[in-house]
């Protein structure tokens, strides 16, 4: 057998425990980062779909003649944003349903609301959309678009 040199030392049990703790902290950090990335991706997907639904409705309203746009619609708050509290105003709202957008066999609905106001002889069209129904824990501010229509 060889005699152990005093300058050669191996890992002690304490050093192994510290290294394991550092590794565990790193793994837990990466795990939480993955969870955050998944929820952010889900949120971004919902924003994209809501924006597409609002754009579609905006294009339909912009294709109408100036005189057929009747002022009215859903309530605007002090900042000019459409509010989603209360019921939607009939004739100034729509529901867009998508099947299989989250899970196969599941249908997701988006609430689209708009408001038309007359401003200095012009028509201001405000359209907003957001995911509706259920206990959607990642509910964000609605996607909103504004356009001006001239006579």
Tokens 């504004």 sit at which residue?
146
Give the angle subtended at the CA of 143 by the CAs of 140 and 146, to the nearest 5°. 150
Q: Are 127 and 114 in contact (CB under 8 A)?
A: yes
pLDDT at residue 12, rounded to an integer? 81
pLDDT at residue 138, rounded to an integer? 54
What are phi and psi for residue 114, nearest 5 degrees? Answer: -145, 165
pLDDT at residue 59, rounded to an integer? 95
Query: Where in the chain are the domains?
Result: 13-149
R_g over Cα of the chain: 28
pLDDT at residue 10, rounded to an integer? 66
C-alpha span between 5 and 8 (Å, rounded): 6
Give the model confidence (pLDDT) of 71-84 as tens digits. 999 988 988 899 88
What does the pLDDT profile of the chain (151 residues) look like in tens digits?
Answer: 556 566 666 678 888 899 999 999 999 999 999 988 988 887 788 888 889 999 999 999 999 999 999 999 998 898 889 988 888 899 999 998 887 666 677 888 889 999 999 989 999 999 999 988 655 555 677 889 999 988 8
User: Which pTM does this prediction carry?
Assistant: 0.73
- Domain covering 13-149 assigned CATH 3.30.1300.30 in the classification: yes
Tokens of 120: 């200095």
Alpha helices in the chain (DSSP H): 13-62
pLDDT at residue 125, rounded to an integer? 95
Q: Are 114 and 73 in contact (CB under 8 A)?
A: yes
């Amino acid at each position: 057998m060889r005699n152990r040199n005093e300058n050669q030392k191996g890992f002690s049990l304490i050093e192994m425990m510290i290294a394991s703790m550092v590794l565990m902290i790193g793994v837990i950090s990466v795990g939480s980062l993955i969870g955050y990335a998944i929820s952010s991706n889900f949120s971004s997907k919902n924003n994209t779909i809501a924006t597409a639904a609002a754009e579609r409705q905006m294009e339909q309203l912009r294709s109408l003649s100036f005189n057929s746009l009747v002022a009215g619609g859903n309530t605007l708050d002090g900042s000019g944003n459409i509010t989603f509290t209360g019921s939607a105003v009939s004739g100034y709202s729509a529901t867009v349903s998508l099947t299989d957008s989250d899970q196969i066999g599941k249908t997701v609905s988006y609430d689209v609301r708009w408001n038309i106001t007359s401003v200095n002889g012009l028509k201001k069209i405000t359209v907003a959309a957001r995911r509706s129904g259920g206990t959607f824990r990642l509910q964000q501010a609605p996607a909103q678009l504004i356009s001006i229509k001239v006579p």
